[in-house]
């Protein structure tokens, strides 16, 4: 704060002076009133300051109250004697001085009894600020007209206040009435970093959108260190360039703002418009609305604002397309409807197709059965389209009741053709059906449905079937005949196994049991039938007997199920499950008997396609074991029969196959030992990938100054400490270092390391590469910040007499001695120890500064000067 005579407003720097003549050879007791420059925008000169007794002034001190950091200043000083003002001198502007410091030239006068000071100000240059302002004043005597006997310069403290009194350097350093003065301006000028202005763009892929729709916002930026979303629902930004999908439900503004490293920002907005969805429209048309039954009609449809359309009506299909054509063939009056949907709702349209009669009717007539024995019956069935009435036509007749469709039973005794005629306004149409009547009596052989004669319905059993053959006619067979047994093994409607059973003659109304030879049962469902008077070879052995009915020789089929084991292999497994090259891999597979019969001992065969080319290159037999119905067993290769047990993995893609009830080599005793209901589900495969091992990188650090072991942990060191790095790796072919050199080697040490500067950290990273990729290991070393040194003097508290001795004591507080230096009278030229002291004789105000990397410190010893009157 200013002394009580002045109140600071912070408009500009305020400077002041105070002066006096001597009293008993010292600057004391004759101090005049101070003078201050105005604390206004224009600043200006202070009032003249004088000795209280009106004598010539010998002692002057200066005052400063720092102003705002935004005002550049320069200082002027002027001497006066009995109303005569000598030439004023000024410093440079602070911003134009050397590192913010400047000094005026000498202002020369004679027998000075007044002095004044002025301040000029202006705005600091753009991007610059001023701080740590000090004013200094120096007095000098003339010798041969030259200001060459200067005294010690006295400075105001940083932060404001009065300096000590300055005297000239005449009279052996005790001062007197001075002739010259100069003023000093010291300050710190700080230049702000140049601003970085980011730019940003923001666009929408689609704008406007409809309700329920979505779009993508995309942004790019330059000179930006970060970006964020500041407006818009569902908008998320996490990078300086990118995109984000949004689905706004109403119109709104989306805004992004990006920031530069200097704190400057830029924003961009997109006004998203959300329109209400428009209701879909549907349009359906027909190539004709009146057609004959079964005629082709083309339906054409289109829509607007629809996402899909569907159709109803016989044969109408849209495939969800919003437009297209489809062909239909209506046989009755039909209404076709198109329904289209979209975000705005649903739209429909329909077309009705009317069937018109444009010609005679159509009619069909069938007889079932068409062949039968005399005394039996058949059924006549008719149907028509476009008919008004239908009736029997010709002979023999049958009753229709004029119905256009129906059926009636008939019992002719001879072969007969029946005719129906159907009428409409355009005419009539006939249809016929013929029946064949066979004679009653004679020989008639039939076969009963076969039954199981011997054996059990389990896989591998020998089964025999029998059938009773009966002559239900009235005439004995004239000779022998055969009965054919047929088995549908695959149950697919085709008979795969046959046996011809010999029959002798068979009297009328008698029966004989025929037995087939044995069939080795296979698991699954099968059927068997018997056909009398039938031989598998055909020819003369077939149909040896003339019968009254040749269509009833074969029996109904007997369907039966053979129980069997069914071995199913689950997907094989590997261990380890995520292998890397060089691993020893073992294989296993779980086999389940999902059949209904226990399975005897059997092995499982493992085969490996190493090159994944469809060819199996590695083989391993397992041991054998039985599996009960519904149970499981786990198999692993055991190397039986000179096969493999494990596999050493190589990089690449491979396929392992496990096959239950299989053994190497094919045809071995243990190969296909179990009869199964399904022999095609024994195998399962698993494809897996083996990768090369990922390199590992290990980086260690050692403080070589303090000693100790290497460590993989981050460490902190002191200034001047030195470190060494050691590294190792696995599965790597080369390694490189960040902030140090690994020279491509996969292991080593490095002692030529650049340590971090005080108060900072450096991360050293080892990166090792190999066939399996890259591995890295970072390690951070932090150098502790340096503390400023300390400098003290027991004589700095109070002014001392000129010529007295002053002692200065220092402590470098860890700073390197060689990096520290003194400036000041009597200070040592070099420093070799952390602590120390020195003495100096005070010939004037003495300021000593100790400078180190950790900071600077100054101590001033002020004096009480001796002054001699002239």
pLDDT digits (tens, 9 = 90+) for 734-788: 999 999 999 999 999 999 999 998 888 999 999 999 988 888 899 999 988 888 8
Closest CA to 618 of 656, 585, 583: 656
Coil, strand, or helix at residue 349?
strand
115-152 pLDDT tens trace: 999 999 999 998 889 999 999 999 988 888 888 888 88
Give residue 6's pLDDT.
34
What does residue 719 show for φ and ψ, rounded to 5 degrees?
Answer: -60, 140
Q: Is the dihedral of CA 723, 724, 730, 736 positive or negative?
A: positive
DSSP letters, 176-216, are: -S--EEEEEEEEEEEEPPPP---EEEEEESSSSEETT--EE
Give residue 5's pLDDT.
32
What does residue 795 show for φ and ψ, rounded to 5 degrees?
Answer: -95, 5
The Cα–Cα gap between 609 and 690 comes to: 13
| Share of the chain residues as helix, strand and coil, in percent rounded to the nearest 5 | 0, 50, 50
Over pLDDT 70: what percentage of the chain?
95
493: left (phi over 0), alpha (psi -120 to 50) or beta: left
Give residue 210's pLDDT.
81
This prediction's pTM: 0.41
Q: What is the mean pLDDT of residues 592-617?
A: 93
Q: Which residue has the tokens 């030529």?
A: 752
pLDDT > 60? residue 540: yes
Closest CA to 300 of 325, 275, 320: 325
Q: Give, for 367, the enclosing helix (H) or strand (E).
A: strand 362-368
pLDDT > 70? residue 4: no
What does residue 763 show for φ and ψ, rounded to 5 degrees?
Answer: -100, 120
Asked if residues 605 and 619 have their Cβ atoms less than 8 Å apart, the reply is: yes
Give residue 1's pLDDT.
32
Cα 175 to Cα 109, 149, 431, 435, 803: the distances in Å are 16, 10, 154, 160, 13
Asked if residues 799 and 866 have their Cβ atoms less than 8 Å apart, the reply is: no
Q: Please give, one letter per residue, the 3-state secondary structure of 824-866.
A: CCCCCCCCCCCEEEEEEECCCCEEEEEEECCEEEEEEECEECC
Q: What is the CA radius of gyration of the chain?
A: 59
Q: Which residues contact residue 595 at a Cβ distance below 8 angstroms, ignoring those fewer than 6 apart?
A: 523, 563, 564, 565, 566, 567, 629, 676, 677
CB atoms inside a 10 Å sphere around CB 87 = 11
Over pLDDT 90: what percentage of the chain?
50
Beta bridge partners of 311: 338
Structure tokens at 643: 């096969």
The Cα–Cα gap between 681 and 17 comes to: 111
Asked if residues 234 and 246 have their Cβ atoms less than 8 Å apart, the reply is: yes
The Cα–Cα gap between 590 and 487 comes to: 35
How do 345-355 and 290-291 pair as beta strands?
parallel
Coil, strand, or helix at residue 539?
helix
How do 863-864 and 800-801 pair as beta strands?
parallel
405-463 pLDDT tens trace: 999 999 888 889 999 999 998 899 999 999 887 666 689 999 999 999 999 998 889 99
Q: Which residue has the tokens 């696995």?
A: 730
Closest CA to 301 of 353, 352, 351, 355: 351
Beta bridge partners of 20: 59
The Cα–Cα gap between 287 and 303 comes to: 18
Beta bridge partners of 417: 434
Q: Which residue has the tokens 């925008």?
A: 41
Closest CA to 598 of 527, 667, 673, 518: 673
What does residue 94 show for φ and ψ, rounded to 5 degrees?
Answer: -55, -40
Give residue 106's pLDDT.
86
Structure tokens at 721: 């400490």
Q: Which residues contact residue 331 at a Cβ distance below 8 angstroms, ignoring those fewer than 6 apart?
A: 293, 294, 355, 385
Q: Which residues contact residue 330 at a Cβ distance below 8 angstroms, ignoring those fewer than 6 apart?
A: 291, 293, 294, 295, 297, 314, 315, 353, 355
582: left (phi over 0), alpha (psi -120 to 50) or beta: left
Residue 148, exposed/middle/buried by CB under 10 A (0-12, 13-18, 19+)?
middle
Beta bridge partners of 776: 767
Q: Which residue has the tokens 């993995």?
A: 649
The Cα–Cα gap between 432 and 417 comes to: 7
659-684: b (≥16 Cβ within 10 Å) or e = bbbbbbeeeeebbebbbbbbeeebbb
Closest CA to 395 of 342, 432, 429: 432
Q: What is the mean pLDDT of residues 221-233?
A: 92
Look over the chain and give the mean of its residue pLDDT values, rounded to a whole number. Answer: 88
Give residue 450's pLDDT.
96
Domains of the chain are 14-191 (no CATH), 199-275 (2.60.40.2470), 281-355 (2.60.40.2470), 362-438 (2.60.40.10), 445-562 (2.60.40.10), 567-690 (2.60.40.10), 696-783 (2.60.40), 790-864 (2.60.40.2470)
The Cα–Cα gap between 775 and 768 comes to: 5
State the pLDDT confidence band at 611, using cuts at 50, 70 and 90: very high
Structure tokens at 785: 């910040």
Which of 16-30, 89-103, 412-426, 568-582 shows the lowest mean pLDDT across its residues?
Answer: 16-30
């Amino acid at each position: 704060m200013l002394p009580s005579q002045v109140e600071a407003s912070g408009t500009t720097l305020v400077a002041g002076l105070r002066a006096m003549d001597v009293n008993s050879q010292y600057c004391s007791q004759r101090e005049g009133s101070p003078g201050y420059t105005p604390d206004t925008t224009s600043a200006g000169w202070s009032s003249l300051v004088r000795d209280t007794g009106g004598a010539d002034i010998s002692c002057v001190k200066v005052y400063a109250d720092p102003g705002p950091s935004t005002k550049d200043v320069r200082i002027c000083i002027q001497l006066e004697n009995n109303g005569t003002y000598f030439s004023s001198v000024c410093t440079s502007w602070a911003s134009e001085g050397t590192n913010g410091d400047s000094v005026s030239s000498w202002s020369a006068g004679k027998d000075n009894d007044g002095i004044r000071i002025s301040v000029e100000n202006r705005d600091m240059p753009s991007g610059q600020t001023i701080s740590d302002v000090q004013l200094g004043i120096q007095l000098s005597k003339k010798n041969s007209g030259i200001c060459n006997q200067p005294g010690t310069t006295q400075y105001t403290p940083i932060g404001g206040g009065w300096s000590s009194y300055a005297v000239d350097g005449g009279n052996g350093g005790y001062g007197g009435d001075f002739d010259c003065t100069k003023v000093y301006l010291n300050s710190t000028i700080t230049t702000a970093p140049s601003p970085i202005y980011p730019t940003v763009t923001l666009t929408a892929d689609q704008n406007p959108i409809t309700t329920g729709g979505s779009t993508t916002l995309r942004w790019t930026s330059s000179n930006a260190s970060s970006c964020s979303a500041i407006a818009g629902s569902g908008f998320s930004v996490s990078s300086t360039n990118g995109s984000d999908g949004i689905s706004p439900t109403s119109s709104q503004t989306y805004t992004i703002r990006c920031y530069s490293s200097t704190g400057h920002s830029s924003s961009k907005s997109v006004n998203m418009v959300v329109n209400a969805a428009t209701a879909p429209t549907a349009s359906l048309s027909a190539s004709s609305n009146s057609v004959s039954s079964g005629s082709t009609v083309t339906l054409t449809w289109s829509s607007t604002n629809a996402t899909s359309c569907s159709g109803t009506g016989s044969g109408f299909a849209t495939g969800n397309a919003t437009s297209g054509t489809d062909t239909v063939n209506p046989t009755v009056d039909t209404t076709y409807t198109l329904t289209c949907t979209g975000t705005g709702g649903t739209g429909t349209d329909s077309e009705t197709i009317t069937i018109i009669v444009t010609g005679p009717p159509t009619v069909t007539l069938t007889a079932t059965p068409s062949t039968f024995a005399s005394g039996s019956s058949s059924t006549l069935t008719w149907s028509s389209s476009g008919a008004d009435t239908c009736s029997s036509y010709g002979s023999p007749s049958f009753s229709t009741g004029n119905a256009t469709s129906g059926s009636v039973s008939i019992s002719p005794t001879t072969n007969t053709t029946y005719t129906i005629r159907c009428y409409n306004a355009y005419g009539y149409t006939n249809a016929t059906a013929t029946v064949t009547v066979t004679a009653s009596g004679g020989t008639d052989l039939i076969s009963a449905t076969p039954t199981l004669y011997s054996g059990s319905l389990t896989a591998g059993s020998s089964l025999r079937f029998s059938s009773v053959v009966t002559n239900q006619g009235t005439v004995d067979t004239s000779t022998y005949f055969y009965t054919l047994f047929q088995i549908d093994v695959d149950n697919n409607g085709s008979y795969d196994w046959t046996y011809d059973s010999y029959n002798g003659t068979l009297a009328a109304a008698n029966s004989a049991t025929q037995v087939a030879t044995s069939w080795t049962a296979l698991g699954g469902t099968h059927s068997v039938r018997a056909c009398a008077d039938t031989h598998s070879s055909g020819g003369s052995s077939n149909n040896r007997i003339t019968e009254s009915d040749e269509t009833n020789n074969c029996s109904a089929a007997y369907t039966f199920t053979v129980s069997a084991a069914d071995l199913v292999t689950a997907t094989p497994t590997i261990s380890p499950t995520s292998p890397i090259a060089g691993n020893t891999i073992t294989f296993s597979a779980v086999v389940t008997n999902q059949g209904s019969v226990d399975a005897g001992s059997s092995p499982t065969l493992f085969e490996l396609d190493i090159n994944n080319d469809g060819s199996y290159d590695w083989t391993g037999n397992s041991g054998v074991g039985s599996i009960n119905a519904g149970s499981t067993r786990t198999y692993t290769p055991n190397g039986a029969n000179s096969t493999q047990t494990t596999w050493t993995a190589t990089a690449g893609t491979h396929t392992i196959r496990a096959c239950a009830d299989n053994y190497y080599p094919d045809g071995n005793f243990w190969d296909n030992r179990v009869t199964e209901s399904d022999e095609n589900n024994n195998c399962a495969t698993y494809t897996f990938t083996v990768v090369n091992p990922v390199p590992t990188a290990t980086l260690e650090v050692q403080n070589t100054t303090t000693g100790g072991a290497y460590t993989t942990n981050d460490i902190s060191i002191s200034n001047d400490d030195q470190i060494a790095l050691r590294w190792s790796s696995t599965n790597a072919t080369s390694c490189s270092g960040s902030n140090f050199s690994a020279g491509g080697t996969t292991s080593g040490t490095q002692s030529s390391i650049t340590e971090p500067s005080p108060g900072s950290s450096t991360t050293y990273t080892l990166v090792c590469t190999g066939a399996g990729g890259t591995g890295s290991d970072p390690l951070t070393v932090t150098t502790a910040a340096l503390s400023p040194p300390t400098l003290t003097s027991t004589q700095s508290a109070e002014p001392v007499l000129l010529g007295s001795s002053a002692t200065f004591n220092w402590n470098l507080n860890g700073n390197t001695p060689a990096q520290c230096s003194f400036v000041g009278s009597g200070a040592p030229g070099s420093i070799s120890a952390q602590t120390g002291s020195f003495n100096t004789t005070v010939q004037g105000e003495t300021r000593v500064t100790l400078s180190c990397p950790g900071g600077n410190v100054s101590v001033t010893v002020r004096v009480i000067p001796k002054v001699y009157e002239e």
